[in-house]
Amino acid sequence: MRTFACFTICLAATFSGTFASLDAAPPQEVLDAENARIAAVEKATRSAVCVFAGAAGGGSGVLISKDGYAVTNYHVADPAGSFMKCSLSDGQLYDAVIVGIDPVGDVALIKLQGRDDFPAAEIGDSDQVEVGDWCFAIGNPFLLATDMQPTVTWGMVSGVGRYQYPSGTLIEYTDCIQTDASINPGNSGGPLFNRDGQVIGINGRISIEKRGRVNVGVGYAISMNQVMNFLGYLKSGRVVDHATLGATVSTDSEGEVIVTNILDTSDAYRRGLRYGDELVSFGSKPVTTVNGFKNALGIYPRGWRVPVGFFRGGERHDIIVRLAGVHSREELLAKIQKSVAPPSPDGSQPEDHHEEETKPVSDELKKLFQARSGYANYHFNLEQRERTWQAWKRGDDSSADVWKVAGQLADGDAAQIELSPQKVTASVAGRDSTIEIEGDLTSKLEPVGSGGLLLALHAWQRLQLQGPEKFGEVSYLGTAPLDSIDERFDVLVGLYDAIETRFYFAPQTGDLVAMEMFPEADSDPCELRFQEYDDFEGVRLPTKIIIRRGDQIYNILHGLKWTLSSSEPKDAA
């Protein structure tokens, strides 16, 4: 009896201690972590977008600016057409219009209407993401958000720098983030956030069971740094292409990444890259494997200039290479007519519902769309072109179309140039050059070795005097770097008499900082860098111009003094 009583007392004491521990408050650090997680999710949820496309289904997206720009997947936006409906967690339904598409990278840019104070997500640096980081996805899986409240799933980063092959489609996922946060059909296009509520990726692909389209814990997000590289191009309203180096690589027996083929028409070849060179860096990333090279290459648009490092004979070389496009314009447009991105690597294709439903579109919304070949929405190209043009600080409008300038070359020799609509003349270091602005301009590349300095100056003056509507054909390209990959400029592209020109504007000041003139394809342009602006008779003009061709400086004009006059005689009083 005494033994039983003792056992009863001990058992009661044990359970009493257990219940007491269950009643104890959790540690403060646990509560703090929970509150931080709730706050991050609450902040992030406000920027999450649920995309509804009627019979075409829908998906997810994320707001990236207060004026309504939002990112989603191409395979979400394409079936929806030019217009769609979107909801936010505020319970409101908003009209949205397509802006630009990147069918290779599976990214689309849309713009929500109705506000100028949308809750934009904070952009994170996806290059800083590490395996083991906490993360969470927000979206509209299985289109459950009929109450306009998105779904949140929590997990961790399972892998970084993942490369996903096209799987028979146009889509190629490079440098993507792998996560075990639950991502299902309908999450496509939605944001992947880090633990602080910063968006680090756009969810796109999932690995699924063969028995049904259900996530098995392996999802892939397009890195946000890739999206931001393409953002300027997407805002141009274009159908955007990815880049190629113009060379192929493979791994040799020692594990080095070696150039195995290179086009002699590529910029990489002109800059000095050759067969057999060891590639060690591309853009901002080291290259140690072939997949690593594909990841580094895949995050850049065509036309960008990026640093490339390679070894030859034990010596390192660093060059800046202008990247070509993966596809020709016609090839890319033809491919997107046949291909919509699959939501998973198994190759399954979503149904095409383009013609199943005609959604009513208001007249105001229709004004935000303009069809044109090569563009997802030409309206936004015109909008960005006008913004860039108006921001250019040209000074007063002037009818003076004869510009005379005198200055010095780098070696101190005198230089004089006269620009007019009919011809350009120059006296540089005692040598005279003249080009008439008529006939085939592509062959008028004086002075010799400059790549067409006089023609480039004429194109520059023509744009400044006549504007984008009369220059020829002028469009907004997007944002692109010059010397540093981290500094981007607004770029206008001008086509005039078979000559392509590119004008680079500093977004902070609106100043024209550089231009390139390409007299023919697959050749180095004549490049002008405009510096040290001053006011001349009310017009802002540079007092220093650096002339480059390829990776060499042809010469420098400095101490420039401009005199402006009109070729048309003034009417008598």
**pLDDT, tens only, 120-146:** 999 999 999 999 999 999 998 887 767
The residue out of 279, 308, 325 marking a domain boundary is: 325
Burial profile 161-199: b = 16 or more Cβ within 10 angstroms, e = fewer: bbbbeebebbbbbbbbbbbbbbbbbbbbbbbbbbbebbb
Q: Is residue 436 part of a domain?
A: yes
* C-beta separation of 325 from 241 below 8 A: yes
223: number of Cβ within 10 Å? 27
Is 106 designated active site? yes
Q: What is the dihedral of CA 191, 197, 199, 205, to 10 degrees?
A: -40
Q: Verify that 456 and 308 share a domain, yes or no.
A: no
Rounded to an integer, the average pLDDT of 227-247 is: 97
Residues 432 and 287 in one domain: no
pLDDT digits (tens, 9 = 90+) for 337-371: 765 544 444 434 444 444 434 567 888 999 999 99
Number of other CB atoms surrounding residue 118 within 10 Å? 22
d(CA 192, CA 214): 18
Domain end (from 177, 212, 235): 235
Could you tell me which of 325, 329, 281, 327 has the C-alpha nearest to residue 303? 325
> Residue 212: how many CB atoms within 10 A of its CB?
6
**Other C-beta atoms lying within 10 Å of the C-beta of residue 108:** 28
Q: Is residue 84 part of a domain?
A: yes
Closest Cα to residue 174, out of 239, 113, 222?
222
Q: Among the options 75, 242, 327, 458, which is catalytic? A: 75
pLDDT for res 405: 97
pLDDT value at 498 more than 80: yes
| Per-residue tokens: 487 | 């500094």
CATH of the domain at 125: 2.40.10.120
131 lies in the same domain as 265:
no
Residue ending a domain, choose from 325, 357, 380: 325
Q: Do 511 and 408 sit in the same domain of this protein?
A: yes
Each residue of 330-368: b (16+ CB within 10 Å) or e?
Answer: eebeeebeebbbbbbbeeeebeeeeeeeebeeeeeeeeb
H/E stretch holding 61 reads strand 58-63
Return d(Cα 120, Cα 112) in angstroms, integer: 12
Domain CATH code at residue 267: 2.30.42.10
Q: Cβ distance 415 to 408 under 8 Å?
A: yes
Residue 476 inside a domain? The answer is yes
- Same domain? For 252 and 225 the reply is no
Indicate if 458 belongs to the active site: no
Residue 330 lies in a domain: no
Which of 78, 102, 106, 277 is an active site residue? Answer: 106
pTM passes above 0.85: yes
pLDDT tens digits, one per residue of 368-409:
999 999 999 999 999 999 999 999 988 877 789 999 999 999
Q: Which domain range does residue 161 map to?
A: 41-235
Q: What value does the mean pLDDT take over residues 314-319? A: 96
Domain CATH number, residue 513: 2.50.20
Q: Specify whether 494 is located in the same domain as 551.
A: yes
CB 273 within 8 A of CB 321: yes
* Statement to judge: residues 223 and 254 lie in one domain: no
More reliable by pLDDT, 146 or 300: 300
**75 catalytically annotated:** yes
Helix orientation angle between 378-391 and 453-471, rounded to the nearest 10 degrees = 120
Percent of the chain with pLDDT over 90: 69
Say if residue 54 is in the same domain as residue 79: yes
- Residue 204 near residue 73, CB atoms below 8 Å: yes
- Residue 303 pLDDT > 60, yes or no? yes
Q: Are residues 253 and 399 in the same domain?
A: no
Over range 302-329, report the average pLDDT: 94
* 190 and 309 housed in the same domain: no
Both 152 and 182 in a single domain?
yes
* The one catalytic residue among 182, 188, 344, 450: 188
Is the same domain home to 100 and 130?
yes
Is residue 571 assigned to a domain? Answer: no
Q: Considering its fold, how many domains does the chain have in total? A: 3
